[in-house]
A and B are shown apart, each in its own frame.
Chain A
Amino acid sequence: MDVSMIFLCVAVLAALGYVLGRRQALALSASRGIKLHSLPGYYGQTVALLTAVPALILLCAWLLVQPGIIETRVSGMIPDSVVPQGGAQSLVMADVRRIANGLGAVQARAEQAGADVDVEELDFNNVRARLAQVGVALGSDVPSEVFEAAKTYRQSSDFGHLLMTIAVLALAVGSLPLAYMRIAPELRARNLSESFVKWLLMLSSLVAILTTVGIVGSLVFETYVFFTLYPWQDFFFSATWNPQFRGGSDLGILPLLWGTFYVSIISLIVAVPIGLMIAVFLSEYAGPRTRSIVKPAIEMLAGIPTIVYGLFALITVGPFLRDWFAQPLGLGTSSSSVLTAGLVMGVMIIPFVSSLSDDIINAVPQSLRDGSYALGSTQSETIKKVVLPAALPGIVGAILLAASRAIGETMIVVLGAGAAAKLDINPFEAMTTVTVKIVSQLTGDTEFASPETLVAFALGLTLFVITLCLNVMALYIVRKYREQYE
């Protein structure tokens, strides 16, 4: 039986449990003349939960554990002589799984056609054509041991599946009457069902932690594999980036880091003064009407997907900079350049700087401004000499957040900055960044054993560490600042 069918059966049993439980509670309370502890629906819920939850937990656990057990049993069947020289056992096992799935497909096809094919009777010689019919192409040199292993694999997974179906349904069917018998007017059904819901709430909040564990775990694990294949000194300190898919590549991160920082710095040079001035204007000068128009307009810049900025860089800003600046000045002929990506990214992060700084400037106590006006300062003097210095820590935090956004940004640099890994200071040259290289190393057909692919995980980990540090620092500064005026 299909997993979804098992699930459906359990759900039907649970629904049945609900109806029975509710009715039983009402009947018992009427016959014994005792008031129910909880509303009748809670008794139904209790029976339904006690029926479904253990069965579903068993189902999940079985699905997780069974492949591992079968894998170990079957891989014991494969003699070492079958594993090709220099190949891995895991590749042979992949073959085994493929053939096993193919056998299942053969049988399904045969049943559909009405013919009765006993898959167990198929032997090594006549199976190749049948497998090809269902789209499983067999390599020329599959040894008979592998085929036998595949047959065992299929048998034991079929058997395991059957066992699981029986066990899960038996558990559900068995726990239904047990739960039903527990129904009594004194039973605290509401507390039972509510504590279950509370557990469910807590489990779902674990997803946040699991995501982080997943991110860090996958990055660290694959990076570790990468460093067993490629020396870490070369990765961190080599100034050449030259991946060769035949092997023997140079994978130094320095040119990529340089490109990343160069683009980010240009974008900050654009975004910080403009964003800050917008924040000052909106919080100190603009009236409520101007503010209600300008603020959403600026924040729209943050809502536009980055692919749109990327295309803007590619078709408008890049050619414009090339034709009007780079070529007349003799600085380059490439339309994708550090400056293109930096300018467009600067526009993108203006709203990050401006809205955070706006909040922070608004948090500066009015008494400071009033004091400054009382001494005769003009408004701009108050802003420059009193408000901004008071808000400085918070503004630094905002800038750090914007910087981490710029460093992790992908689509603008993929489309605007180019792909050449160079250590150069000419802003009209095409350079590349960490994110661009993660994309280029991981898209397309990837083979997971080569350092050229795995390097992307090391790059990702570096990127993650940098942005995380910037963020933690920024949040710390902003929080300190908030405390100062509270």
Chain B
Amino acid sequence: MTDLTVFGASGQPASTQPAPTKSILTVDERTRRRNRSESRFRMMGKAAVTFGIVALIGLLVSIMSNGLTSFQQTYISIDVYLDPAVLDKAGNRDPADIAKVSTFGYLPLIEKALGDAIAAKGLAAEGLTAKAAAELISKESPADLRRFVMSDPSMVGETQRFDFLAAGRIDGYYKGRVTMASAQLDRNVSPEQLVLADTLKEDGILTTKFNWSFFTAPDASDTRPEAAGLGVAIIGSAYMMLIVLVLSLPLGVATSIYLEEFAPQNWFTDLIEVNIANRAAVPSIVFGILGLAVLINFVGLPQSAPIVGGLVLTLMTLPTIIIATRSALKAVPPSIRDAALGVGASKMQSIFHHVLPLAMPGILTGAIIGLARALGETAPLLLIGMVAFVREYPSGPPDGFFQPASALPVQIYNWTQRGDPAFVERASGAIIVLLVFLVLMNLLAIVLRRRFERRW
């Protein structure tokens, strides 16, 4: 018993054990196991990186494959005779009289025009009434036609060539969303209509063109995905970014200068620091609640207005700009300050004439990155009413800041909530537009940093 405790489990003194005699060139089992685990670990690292990159690529590919088609749109070009017997019964071309003809009054003109076009080409619309054939054309078209006539009443009585939007389902047929089989089950489109569309395409009446109106047109109602565009949303986002830039850059720079150069070490400064540091802790939706409770209900600013969105996003962007500005100010070497003070500048002069200009590239880079983040922010804007359906363009600034508008990310959310699958295409297309803006802004930031940033 006592021997065992003295000499260990082997029962022999350790010193008497013969040393293992083997070459270090032959790898024993234990080393092999350790090497295997080493390479396994390394593989896991590579796998994790691969997963991250595959996820990024998958995300982008999914959005691209769904959205790229939204930049193409199917149009039907036909000659429409603007019949005075329908549009101007009094015959005096008085805009007030023409205005009395409602949108529905224009529908027969389009029906007739399409019927004539089909007949003129010697095609046959088998199994389709004139009305069903006209359903190939978007429901938005009579309104477009009316707008055209109202803008120029002298055109009544003329024949004019129009590019009408094709209906959403017809457009979807050429983008692979609608097939003959699905049309059988769909009450919005029939296989006969698709056959007619094909014959029109062969004849060059139905064409596919680049979709400019996607960037300029306002939103459209649930049943007219083909007419929906991003115009109002782009303007709304641009207004908000303008407000964010104008407010957050001076405020952020002023705060940073104060904290970096002037603030005394006391509880008050600490309070400001803590407030800025913990801003990242506040979920973005809470800023939306702030906007709703304080800016809309308490101050009484209008709902859905870019001014409210801009203010909320300013508060969210400020910490980003403050952090970037402070590190840019810190990066300016003290010798610059000392030299300025040495030749008799005041502290304020040394900062505003020397330190700030040198820190400017860093500050602008931070501001652009903050703006890019603000541009993609959705949740707070939902709460301040920017989900509203807005068709009218806001007027120019500053009045337009107080009028209802949409915003790019909110418009995307809005479209995902609609029934027609064509809106998924629109939403993905809108995301591509949003991402292009973000990439451009980030590239600008990178260029600024590369070209102007000085290393000391």
Contact = CB atoms under 8 A, between A and B. Distances in A.
User: Is B truly associated with A?
Assistant: yes
Interface of A: 190, 194, 197-198, 200-202, 204-209, 211-212, 214-215, 218-219, 221-222, 273-278, 280-282, 285, 294, 297-298, 300-301, 303-312, 314-316, 347, 350-351, 354, 378-381, 383-384, 404, 407-411, 414-415, 435, 438-439, 442-443, 448, 456-457, 460, 463-464, 467-468, 470-472, 475
B312 to A, nearest CB: 10
Contacts, number: 244
B390 interface: no
Interface of A is mostly: helix
B46, B56, B66, B281 — most chain A CB neighbours (10 Å) = B281
Contacts of A410: 283-285, 378-379, 382
B259 interface: yes
A189 to B, nearest CB: 12
A208 to B, nearest CB: 4
Nearest to B386: A443
A475 B258 CA distance: 24
Give the interface size bracket for B toward A. 35 or more
6 closest Cβ pairs, A-B complex: A408-B283, A305-B376, A281-B45, A471-B281, A277-B48, A218-B293
A319 to B, nearest CB: 11
Given A304-B59, A308-B59, A408 B284 contact: yes
Contacts of B282: 215, 408, 464, 467-468
8 contacts: A202-B258, A205-B255, A215-B287, A277-B44, A294-B53, A378-B35, A378-B38, A410-B284
Given A207-B318, A208-B275, A294-B53, A311 B283 contact: no
B414 to A, nearest CB: 11
A309 B56 CA distance: 10
Contacts of A300: 56
B59 A347 contact: yes
B41 A383 contact: yes
Contacts of B422: none
B178 interface: no
Interface stretch (B127-135, B158-166, B424-432): B424-432
Interface stretch (B95-103, B169-177, B195-203, B434-442): B434-442
Best-buried of B42, B322, B378 by chain A (most CB within 10 Å): B378
Interface of B: 34-35, 37-38, 40-42, 44-49, 51-53, 55-56, 58-59, 62-63, 66, 250-251, 254-255, 257-259, 262-263, 271-272, 275-290, 292-294, 297-298, 315, 318-319, 322, 346-348, 372-373, 375-379, 382-383, 385, 387, 409, 412-413, 416, 424, 427-428, 431, 434-435, 438, 442
Contacts of A439: 285, 379, 382-383
Contacts of B283: 407-410, 435, 463-464, 467
A460 B372 CA distance: 26
A219 B52 contact: no
A301 B46 contact: no
A380 B55 contact: no
A380 B294 contact: no
Contacts of A201: 254-255, 257-258, 262
Contacts of A414: 379, 413
Given A297-B56, A438-B383, 14 more contacts: A201-B254, A201-B255, A204-B258, A207-B318, A211-B318, A218-B289, A218-B290, A219-B286, A219-B293, A303-B373, A307-B409, A350-B55, A408-B283, A414-B379
Contacts of B40: 380
B424 A274 contact: no
B412 A311 contact: yes
A205 B63 contact: no
B440 to A, nearest CB: 13
A120 B255 CA distance: 50
Contacts of A278: 45, 48-49, 52
